[in-house]
Amino acid sequence: MTNGSQTQWWTADEAPRADVVDPAAPPQAPQRRRRAAGRAAQERERQEARRRRIVVVLVVVALLAGAAYVVASLLKDDESTSQAAVSTAVTDFDGPGHGSVTVTIPAGADGPAIGKALHAAGVVADADVFAREFASSGAPKVAAGAYALPLELSAADAVAALLDPASKASLNLTLAEGLTSWQTLEKISEKTTIPLADLQAAAADAAAIGLPEQAGGKVEGWLAAGAYDVASDATAAQVLSQLVARTVQVLTDKGVAPESWQAVLTKASLVEREMSLDEARPVFARVLENRLRKERTLEIAASVSYGVGSTAEPTAAMLEDASNPYNTYKNVGLPPTPIVSPGAASLDAVLAPADGDWMFWLVVDADSGETKFAVTFDEQMENQAAFDAAQAADG
C-alpha cells in the first residue's frame, strides 16, 4: 500500500460478493415495493370474488330448496284435503227434507234409474245408496208419473215418499188450437208418461172417452184445445175424457143443439185452419154458409191435405183425387169430420157469421193473415191480379 492516491488492492479471495448485503449499502427502490403491494391486492380481490360467487350459489340453492319444499307441502296439503273431502262426502241426508221439487218417474224405471232422477233433483244424496235402500225395502215398482218431493231426504224417507199417494203431483198440459187429432195425441204423449200407442187405442174407444154419438166414432175436432191439470198417474182414456168433456161443455154453454154439434165443429175447424185473424173469421164463416147454400164446392186446400194425413199444401194430383172424401174441390158440402180442434174465436164466428154475400177469399199476406174477400168472380180476379203484381214487384 502506497500513500498519495491511496489505491487499495485485494486478493481474489478478498474481493466483494454480489449476494452479500453491505450494511452500509443504500435501501431498495420504492418502485419495487409498489409492484409487490399490487400483486397482493389483486390476489385479495380474486379471493373476495370467489367468496362472493360461492355465497350466490349457496343462496340460489337455498331458494330452490325452499321453493321445492313449499310446492311439496302444498301438494301434500291438497292431496290431504282431497282425501278428506272424499272421506267426508255425504252419502245420505239425515233430516226429513225441506222445500219441494217435482220429479217425473218414467214408466218401468227400476231402483237405480229412480235413484239417478232423485239425485239429479236434489232429493237424495247418492243414487246408489237410494237404489240399495229401495231394493232392501221390498217395495213394489213405483208408478210412473210426477211426484212432489222434499229436497234432501234420507234414502229411507225417499222410498216412503214415493210410495205415499199424497206425493203424486199433477201435470200441466197445454194444447194449442188448430192441432189435428194425431198432433194432439203426440203432444200429450210428449208432455206425460203415457205411451202414444195407449193414446191412439183410447182415441179409438168412443165409450171409454165419452165421445158423443154425434161424432160417429171419430175423435177429430173433439179434443178441445186449452190448459189442463192432468193427474200424473192418469190413464190415456182419462186424459182424453177430459178433453172431450170440455168440448161438450163448451158447445152446451154456447147453446148449440146436440144434433148440430158435429156440423158446428166441422165448420169451425175449417175457419180455424184458413183464417188467422180473428176479425176475418166471421166473414169467412159467412163465405162457407153462402157456398153451402148455393151448393158450391168449398175448395179448402187444408181439407184436401187432411184427407191424406198431411198438413202441407196439397199437390195438383191430390186436388184432382175425387176419391178423397175430404177433397172439397171435387165434393160438395162439408168434409166428413172436423179437420182440427177449433178455438173459441172460430166457434163464435160459425155461430154468428158476418152479414154479406161474399163467395171468394184470398189471403194476401200469410204473415199477417190479411185476407181479401169478394162477392163476384170478377172481383176475385181483380184481387188476384193485384196480389200477383205486388208479388212480382217484390221480386
pLDDT in tens, the chain (395 residues): 444 444 444 444 444 444 444 544 455 555 555 555 566 666 676 777 677 776 666 666 666 766 666 555 655 555 554 444 444 567 899 878 899 898 988 878 899 999 999 999 999 999 999 999 999 988 778 887 788 899 999 999 999 999 888 888 877 899 999 999 999 999 999 988 899 999 999 999 999 999 999 999 999 999 999 999 888 778 999 999 999 999 999 999 999 999 999 999 999 999 999 999 999 999 999 999 999 999 999 999 999 999 999 999 999 999 999 999 999 999 999 999 999 999 999 999 999 999 999 999 999 998 899 999 999 999 999 999 999 998 888 86
Please check whether residue 302 is in contact with residue 266, taking contact to mean a CB–CB distance below 8 angstroms: no
Architecture category of domain 98-163 in CATH: 2-Layer Sandwich (3.30)
Burial class (CB in 10 A: 0-12, 13-18, 19+), 56: exposed
Position 18 scores a pLDDT of 45
Q: How many helices (H) and strands (E) does the chain have?
A: 14, 6
Reported residue count of the chain is 395
Please check whether residue 304 is in contact with residue 314, taking contact to mean a CB–CB distance below 8 angstroms: yes
Contact residues for 39 (Cβ-Cβ < 8 A; gap 6+): none
Please check whether residue 117 is in contact with residue 144, taking contact to mean a CB–CB distance below 8 angstroms: no
> In angstroms, rounded to a whole number, what is the distance separating the alpha carbons of residues 204 and 197?
11
Position 108 scores a pLDDT of 80
- From start to end of 113-265, where are the E strands? 145-151, 168-175, 226-231
| Grid coordinates belonging to 94 | 239425515
Please check whether residue 170 is in contact with residue 159, taking contact to mean a CB–CB distance below 8 angstroms: no
Position 55 scores a pLDDT of 61
Q: Residue type at 89?
A: A
pTM above 0.75, yes or no: no
Position 2 scores a pLDDT of 42
CATH 3.30.1490.480 domain range(s) in the chain: 98-163
Position 91 scores a pLDDT of 87
Signed CA dihedral, 111, 115, 116, 118: sign only: positive
Under DSSP, is residue 294 helix (H, G, I), strand (E, B) or coil? coil
End-to-end CA distance of the chain: 151
